Every structure is written in C-alpha cells, then in structure tokens.
Amino acid sequence: DGGITQSPKYLFRKEGQNVTLSCEQNLNHDAMYWYRQDPGQGLRLIYYSQIVNDFQKGDIAEGYSVSREKKESFPLTVTSAQKNPTAFYLCASSTIRAEAFFGQGTRLTVV
C-alpha cells in the first residue's frame, strides 16, 4: 500500500533534549513537508523539500532541523532551541500539482 508513514505516534521530550520524528513515503513524490498543528491555529509549515539533498525553511523553522538524504525519507529534529515544542506534527508528500498526502501524525509532548 502506498502512503506516508510517521513514527512514533506519541513522543515525549524532556527539557533540553533533541528528538527526531520519522517520516517515510513510498509514493515516489519529490516534494515532502513538515507541518505543525496547534489547537485553533490550523497548519503551519516548518520545512519543505522539493528534491533530494535540498530543503527550505517554512514559516516557523526556528528550533527545527531536517535532512533529505533519500527521496523516501524526510526526518524532522526538534531541537532544544524550540521553546514550545508540544504540538501535533504532520508530514506530507505531494505531486507537482500540490496534491498532498499526509501521514497520521506524531504528537510530541514536553515532560
């Protein structure tokens, strides 16, 4: 089955710790995206990548980092510089017409 796989579904982070969220796709899409979702704020773009070994900052990139070493994979690291990381994180990939396919999300909580 083709799709987007995010893991883990739930993640807990201690203060000052870096954590990495996984996103894998087998749709053969060039473009991949990370969004953050907070209650009442819709989706905000963190980073996106339109080709392997290249990525761009979105609207709220501070405190996050990404890599795109393989077409299928686009992991997101939430660094200790992100002061308010508790949120729901969504990964997506898209066709060239911007038709996006989403993973099931990772809920990150600071403990």
Partner 1 sequence: AQSVTQPDIHITVSEGASLELRCNYSYGATPYLFWYVQSPGQGLQLLLKYFSGDTLVQGIKGFEAEFKRSQSSFNLRKPSVHWSDAAEYFCAVGALSKVGSSNTGKLIFGQGTTLQVKP
Separation between Cα atoms, residue 106 and residue 23, nearest integer Å: 10
Q: In what order do the strands lie in the sheet with 4-7?
A: 4-7, 19-25, 76-78, 64-66
Nearest to 48 by CA among 58, 39, 38: 58
Determine which residue in the list 11, 61, 107, 110 makes contact with partner 1, applying CB under 8 A: 107
Say if CB 47 and CB 68 are below 8 A apart.
no
Determine which residue in the list 14, 54, 96, 111 makes contact with partner 1, applying CB under 8 A: 96
Q: Quick one: which segment of 19-27, 66-74, 79-87, 101-109 binds partner 1 (CB under 8 A)?
A: 101-109
Q: According to the binding rule CB under 8 A, does residue 2 interact with partner 1?
A: no
Separation between Cα atoms, residue 59 and residue 29, nearest integer Å: 22
Q: According to the binding rule CB under 8 A, does residue 105 interact with partner 1?
A: yes
Binding mask 3-42 for partner 1 (x = CB under 8 A): -x-x------------------------x-x-------xx
Q: According to the binding rule CB under 8 A, does residue 54 interact with partner 1?
A: no
Q: According to the binding rule CB under 8 A, does residue 90 interact with partner 1?
A: yes
Residue type, 56: Q
Separation between Cα atoms, residue 57 and residue 23, nearest integer Å: 17
Instruction: Give the interface with partner 1 as residue ranges (CB under 8 A).
Output: 4, 6, 31, 33, 41-43, 45, 48, 50, 88, 90, 92, 94-105, 107
